[in-house]
Amino acid sequence: MTALALAESRCRHFLALAKPRVVSLIVFCAVIGMFLASPGLPPADIVFIATVGIALVAGAAAAVNCLVEQKIDALMQRTRRRPLPRGELTSLQTLAFAGMVGGLGLWLLYRYVNPLTMWLTLATFIGYAVIYTVLLKPATPQNIVIGGASGAMPPVLGWAAVANDVAPEALLLFLIIFAWTPPHFWALALYRTQDYAKAGLPMLPVTHGSLHTRLQIILYTFALVAVSLLPFAIRMSGVSYLLAALLLGGVFLGYAFRLYFRYSDALARATFRYSIVYLAAIFSALLVDHYWQ
CATH at 222: 1.20.120
Provide the pLDDT for residue 281.
97
147 and 193 housed in the same domain: no
Judge whether 4 lies within some domain.
no
171 and 92 housed in the same domain: no
On the 0-12 / 13-18 / 19+ scale of CB atoms within 10 A, 218 is middle
Provide the pLDDT for residue 94.
92
Q: Which amino acid is at 279?
A: L
| pLDDT tens per residue across span 124-140 | 999 998 888 888 888 88
Of 165, 196, 225, which residue constitutes the final position of a domain? Answer: 165
Domain that holds residue 83: 11-165
**Number of domain units in the chain:** 2
CATH code of 19's domain: 1.10.357.140
| pLDDT tens per residue across span 143-172 | 888 888 889 999 999 999 999 999 999 999
Provide the pLDDT for residue 5.
67
Report the distance separating Cα 41 and Cα 199, nearest Å. 47
196 and 134 housed in the same domain: no
Of 114, 141, 165, which residue constitutes the final position of a domain? Answer: 165
- pTM for this entry: 0.93
Judge whether 3 lies within some domain.
no
Q: What is the dihedral of CA 131, 137, 141, 142, to 10 degrees?
A: 30
Provide the pLDDT for residue 1.
57
156 and 17 housed in the same domain: yes
| Segments in the chain below pLDDT 50 | none
262 and 252 housed in the same domain: yes
Provide the pLDDT for residue 160.
98
Of 142, 165, 188, which residue constitutes the final position of a domain? Answer: 165
